[in-house]
Structure formats: C-alpha cells, structure tokens
Structure 1
Amino acid sequence: MTSAPPAGIPLGATPRNQWRVAAASADLVRTPPAPRPARFAAQPQDLAIDLARTAIVVIDMQNDFCHPDGWLASIGVDVAPARKPIAPLARLLPVLREQDVPVLWVNWGNRPDRLNLSPSLLHVYKPTGVGTGLGDALPGGARVLEAGSWSAGIVDELVPAPEDIHVAKYRMSGFWDTPLDSILRNLGVQTLLFAGVNADQCVLCTLQDANFLGYDCILLEDCSATTSPGYCMQATLYNTRQCFGFVATSEALAAGIQTC
C-alpha cells in the first residue's frame, strides 16, 4: 500500500511527535525515526542502543554544588569530587549533539519565596534550623540554588548549546513536580544516559524513577560523581547494575558512536 505524502499543517512542538491537521482531516500517523544503533561495552552486559531514541540527562552540574565559591564549599564540603565529571562531559556532549541526541540539563532552581520547598526538604540541609540551607543567603549575597542566580547556574566549563533543554527540579528526583517526563515522551525518547552529581542522591533518584516509568537507564560512571563517602558511589554502581539498568563510560559510548 502506497502512503500519500504528508498534508496539512504540522501540530506539535517537535517533529518527533507531530500530527498534521487540515480543515476536514487530522493525520495522526507519526513517521518513526530510522534506527541509529550504537554498540559499546557496559555492565552487566554490553549494549546496543538506538541514538534516534536516546537522550542524556545531566543533573546538578551547578556552581553551588561544583564551584569552589559555591554553597557546598562554603559549608566545608570538598567539591573536588563533584568537579570530576566536568572534563568527560565537556568531551562527550558535543559528540552527542552531533548525533542529534537531546541534552537535558536538570538542575535545582528554587523560587525566591521557597514556596516550592517543603519543610521536610529544607530539613535535609538545615536539620537544626541553624546554618545555610536551601534558599538562604551565601556570604557573597547570592541565595542557595535560587533560579536565575549564579548559584544555580551551570559551571562555566560546561556551556549549554542553544538547542539544549533545561528543566528545573525541586526534589532529589528530576521527575517529581517537573515536566521532564512529558518532554521526554514528546521527544520520543526511550533510552536515557545519566550524568551529574550527586550520583548517590539526585542522579540515582532520577534514574530510579526513570526505570519505574519504563525508560532504559544507563549511568555514565565517569560523568557522575558524589561528595559522599566512597562506599556510596560503590553502592550506586552496584544497585544500578543490579536493579535499575546499566553502567558504562563516556569513552566506551563515544567509541561506539564513532563506529555506528
């Protein structure tokens, strides 16, 4: 059966999920993207993924978490581990963009009035009510992880491209109370690469929720890090391999892309 050429006006924010409509008809047939497989080493098994249905989710690579003048450093946390993903991400993201793989930055971005933050969430970072917690003023005047501020900005070494997608979150998981799932489904994405900090907290919580929602999940080990004790990272890698998906490196992924 020969299909007629598309007619009508496109309706939808992205060609990946569009109708075509006219006065007397609506064409709901989507044109599936041609598969673009990439094969690479991973754990617990080597992988083949479809780049046409893949996106990378980069979590919390922000000044307050990663910069020596940011929030965590100001309260005595050694942020050197949180900076380790910067170099591998700076190498990998251009490779993914060249393959038309969407890049999503999922970052803390609190309201100035903090009405998006519950007492239970504030308690995590300010358990006695004393100190500098979410939304509080830092010595330089910026407020911790406030949307639009330097504190919540992505570190200078990682420069978003104009086509990248930004999602503000207010929980450990990037899926709760955000449009992340709707965006990914509009993009026709099934496989998610995960990167960022802290691997055992926001990255893992987002990855777990992605798994529960039916996405394929791959944690990029060298593009993820944590300021928590080393055993937390080891548990994260173990649980990802065992329960929630796969673990790979950016080098293995890039090598697989080059040969696809």
Structure 2
Amino acid sequence: MAGDKRPDRWSREGEAISLMRPPRVPRPIRFDAQPAPLTVDLSRAALVVVDMQNDFLDPDGWFATVRGADTSGLLGIVPRINALSAAFRDRGAQVIHLNWGIRADLANLPANVVDKGSSCGAAPGYGDTIPSGDVLVQGKWGACSVPAIDVLDGDLKVFKHRLSGFRDNELEAILRRRDIATVFYVGVNLDRCVFATLADGCFQGFDAVLVEDATDTVSPPHVTDAILYLVRLLYGFTTKSDALLGAFQSPTDTGATT
C-alpha cells in the first residue's frame, strides 16, 4: 500500500507473495543508569509518554479543580519530554502518547475504578461534566495532550481506561507488532499511571527504563523515593534525561534507519 510505513508487510514478487521480512539492524546506545549502566537497541525501543494531558496538567482540568491537586509544577518536565521525543524520532524509534480516554458511557469501567475516581459519588469523576468538559472522555478536551507537548504525525496515540496502559487496551499489541523489547517511560503521575503501566509492562515481558527527571507526581517526595527504589530493585532501571540524550550523540549510536 502506498505510503505505508510498516516495513514488515507482505510483498508481491510477480504472481507470488513474499512473506519475507527485512532484517532489523541493531542500533545500540549506552548510557548511565541505576542500578547498572545499560546498552539498549533503539531499533527495538519505544518512548511512552504517559498522561501529559489537559485534565491532569491544566489548571482548569479535573485534577486541579475537582481533585484538589497542585499541578503547577508538573509542566516543568515538558521540555525534557520534548527533547527526548525528538531524539527518539530522529533515530527512528517510536514515540507513543498514552492518555486516559474513556468511553462516555463508562460501559467498560468497573465499579472500583468509577467510585475511586469520584470518591464514591461525592465529587465529579470519570465521564462527568465539569466546566472544562467531560472528564477524561476520549475525543474531549480533557483527554487531549497539553499544547506544550509535541505530538507529531509519526507519533502514535493510545488511549487507556485504567491506571495501567497495558490493561484491556491495544498498547501491548502495538508494541509487539513493532517488535519492541524495551520501553522508556516519562510523564505523570509517577506513582500512579506511570508506575502501574511500567509494572504491568514488565509482567508482560517488556524491559523497563524510567527517566527520573522526565516524570513527576503531585504526591509527597517520599513516594517518589519509594517508586524509584522499587523500579531499581524489582522491575528495571532508572536514568536521567541528560544521560540518555548524551548517549544519542555517542559513537555507539548509529543514527536513524533509512
């Protein structure tokens, strides 16, 4: 199909159909991380940007106006996320924007999700209407990435309806379709959707690298300390954006595929 960007499609050889796929050329990068330095193949890596959306970050969004969260500091990670996204794109690695985007009728949300989101009906929750719109409903303002986040045509948008992006949606299928082995995580909130997605991804067999200074949370600092400890101990690795961006410029980085 003209314009198709997926290299593993079948092809026609005269009257025959070829199921041969082109070999994947490794593109290693090496960078400092905890608990140990890492080498990662960029040809099998993706950057997942979690919940950088209006209802969580904008002062008129649900998180600030209804849940009472102080979101004023969360936008501070945007420049690092944009820089990392640009570096991944430049080298042919996939960028995925993973946002809450629920059904308006809540038909697939269990009671524990709906009631925790609304304090058991005491406040507007998922799908309810507030002055800025319908809370976290796919296609509405609250489910859209904030304008400060760069979302380019080649990026993928995946909507979720649980804390974990791997629960009951297409994220895993998309990653496996692209033969992704290692997932880098950035976004908000570290101790909620970022960690839930990272942990669930590990349970499904994906390597996890958390970029510490490109994530944030409205929770107290000791919560961040606990999450970083658990990621390094049980799930994968943590790194800093400078270390990762520097690795893209090192001799081990062979650049984007053509």
Residue 25 of structure 2, aligned match among 7, 31, 34? 34
Is 1:146–1:152's contact at 8 Å kept on the other side of the alignment?
Answer: yes
Instruction: Give the structure 1 partner of residue 256 of structure 2.
Output: none
Q: Deviations over 1:35-77 (max 9, x none)?
A: 1111111000011111111101111000110111111110221
| Residues 131-146 of structure 1: pairs in structure 2 closer than 5 A | 131-140=123-132, 142-146=133-137
Does 1:166 find its partner at 2:167? no
Query: Secondary structure of the residue that 2:104 maps to in structure 1?
Result: coil
Does 1:120 find its partner at 2:119? no
Residue 90 of structure 1, aligned match among 77, 82, 90? 82
How many residues are paired up? 249
The 1:176/1:13 distance shift into structure 2, 3 A limit, reads farther
Q: RMSD in angstroms over aligned alpha carbons?
A: 1.8
Q: Deviations over 1:100-130 (max 9, x none)?
A: 1100011100112121222110111222311
Deviation at 1:25, TM superposition (A): 4.8
Long gaps (5+) in structure 1: 1-8
Detail structure 1 runs of 4+ shifted over 6 Å in the superposition: none
The 1:64/1:137 distance shift into structure 2, 3 A limit, reads same
| Residues 47-86 of structure 1: pairs in structure 2 closer than 5 A | 47-75=38-66, 76-86=68-78
> Among the aligned pairs, what percent are the same residue?
38
Residue 229 of structure 2, aligned match among 238, 247, 252? 238
**CA distance in 2 between partners of 1:89 and 1:136 (Å):** 30
Is 1:55–1:192's contact at 8 Å kept on the other side of the alignment?
Answer: yes
Task: Out of 27-36 and 152-161, give the one that drifted further.
Answer: 27-36
**CA distance in 1 between partners of 2:148 and 2:222 (Å):** 28
Residue 122 of structure 2, aligned match among 126, 130, 137? 130
Deviation at 1:84, TM superposition (A): 2.6
Instruction: Give the structure 1 partner of residue 36 of structure 2.
Output: 45
Task: Out of 82-91 and 162-171, give the one that drifted further.
Answer: 82-91
Residue 247 of structure 1, aligned match among 238, 244, 256? 238
